[in-house]
Amino acid sequence: MTAVPAVPVPVSIPELAAPSVWPASAVLAPGGDVAVGGVPLTEIAERYGTPVYVLDEEEVRSRARAWRRALPDADIVYAAKAFVCRAVVDWMEEEGLGLDVCSAGELELAAGRGFPAERIVLHGNAKSPRDLRTALRFGVGRIVIDSDCEIARLAAQVPGPEAQQVMVRVLPGIEAGGHEKIRTGVEGQKFGLSIAGGDAEDAVARILGQPRLELTGLHSHLGSQITSPEPYAQTVRRVIAFMARIRDRYGIALPELDLGGGFAVSYLPGDPAPAPGAYGRRIQGELQRCCAEFDFPMPRLTVEPGRSITGPAGIALYRVLAVKRTGGRVFVAVDGGMSDNPRPALYGARYTVRMVGRSSSAPMRSTTVVGRHCEAGDVLTEAAELPEDVRPGDVLAVPASGAYQMSMASGYNMTGRPPVVAVASGRPRLLMRRETFDDHRARDVGL
């Protein structure tokens, strides 16, 4: 009798914790495995080794499209700091998004792929001379002024004859975000210029006096992991009121408003993560109301999603190195950690973890999953539900790993940053190779 190949079945909530934590393509596969983009995760672990990051290309693209549908008349600009490589730059260009970069390096990467410069926004609270030179050389669409000392410095470098278009990053004084270290819209921190304190208006006046700079609008970014549209609506109200004041005082109605990003994704089952449409409806509705109230012409809107596009599309795969039972707790140590994911150590982020590639009938137990590095704070999650018989050699999958992990990865302990593999239509494709000791040695020239 000819064997009939096993067919993966659709994910259900009891089997994979919560569909929103995993890419839409995730399905159960034989032997306790999970397939994403038509590729079993254990196949990727075996082929590319662990740790390894998996990125579902269609999930990235569909999330980019969702933002375009949510705000069809706005500019959707992908925040490259979440995660960027050549393939992601290409995907964003093909899906019609702009690109938000924070350094000459990110800008060089985008330019090397032929990304349209006019769709690039340069950010940064402390732009280096190289950052500014590179932005002017490529002719980026917008440079966001983040401090008053940038104004004259930038104006002096603009070659002309055309003025460089700029925005001013303002602080609306609104507290939003998942942790104090990722809240950037409040007073008294390094980003932006205060509306309430008068710094933003002073910057506007100075820019208007610079013939080589063209002020096109205002920019605001509240923070990260913002789980409600309301802070954005509050920001719209405060910033439009400020734009109306600028019009009345300086006779110019700024035509653009950039609300930044920070839109939340689910890391654990039940985490609130509104769809792009929910943010879009609230933002657009409040913008219309405020413009009518202040008799202000509707500005061109920009938003900068990053995490909400790539975060849920990524999965980190680790292999268990050790299991330790002590003090009434179970510690499972894996072959990665804070070198490829510093978020738990930086601001207490926690993740869903699932064993893949082996079925187990053992009872589930709350387990602390830790990394391999020489830091007590190298903890991936405190309460992962894993089978009691988890053992060295098992593969653990961590969904929602596509943002702010590889982009913030380090060379700690010279372990080497993991590779990134894209999956689509049943095929894996290497996007970024594993960093090796030879890479570290090549940088060490102090002989």
- For 27-74, the DSSP string reads EEEGGGEEEETTEEHHHHHHHH-SSEEEEEHHHHHHHHHHHHHHSTTS
Separation CA 50–CA 107 (nearest Å): 30
- In tens digits, what is the pLDDT along the chain, a chain of 447 residues? 444 444 444 444 344 545 579 999 999 998 999 999 999 999 999 999 999 999 999 999 999 999 999 999 999 999 999 999 999 999 999 999 999 999 999 999 999 999 999 999 999 989 999 999 999 999 999 999 999 999 999 999 999 789 999 999 999 888 655 445 444 545 567 778 999 889 999 999 999 999 999 999 999 988 888 999 999 999 999 999 999 999 999 999 999 999 999 999 999 988 989 999 999 999 999 999 999 999 999 999 999 999 999 999 999 999 999 999 998 899 999 999 999 999 999 988 989 999 999 999 999 999 999 999 999 899 999 989 999 999 999 999 999 999 999 999 999 999 999 999 999 999 999 999 999 999 999 999 987
Beta carbons of 22 and 410 less than 8 angstroms apart: no
Residue 9: enclosing H or E segment and its boundaries? strand 9-10
Q: What is the pLDDT of residue 96?
A: 98
Structure-token match 């890419």, residue found? 23
Instruction: Tell me the Cα Rg of the chain.
Output: 23
Beta bridge mates, 183: 223
Structure-token match 């804070």, residue found? 338
Residue 422: enclosing H or E segment and its boundaries? strand 420-424
| Phi then psi dihedrals of residue 421, to 5 deg | -120, 125
Which residues are designated catalytic?
374
Domains for the chain: give ranges and CATH numbers: 9-56+312-442 (2.40.37.10), 71-305 (3.20.20.10)
- Name the maximum alpha-carbon separation found in the chain: 85
pTM of the predicted protein model: 0.92
Structure-token match 């109200």, residue found? 237
Q: What is the pLDDT of residue 188?
A: 66
Q: What is the pLDDT of residue 199?
A: 93
Separation CA 360–CA 320 (nearest Å): 15
**Looking at 204-246, which runs of residues are DSSP E strands?**
213-219
For 274, how many CA atoms within 13 A lie in the half-sphere containing its CB?
19
Q: What is the pLDDT of residue 187?
A: 57
Separation CA 278–CA 280 (nearest Å): 5
Structure-token match 């009434």, residue found? 328
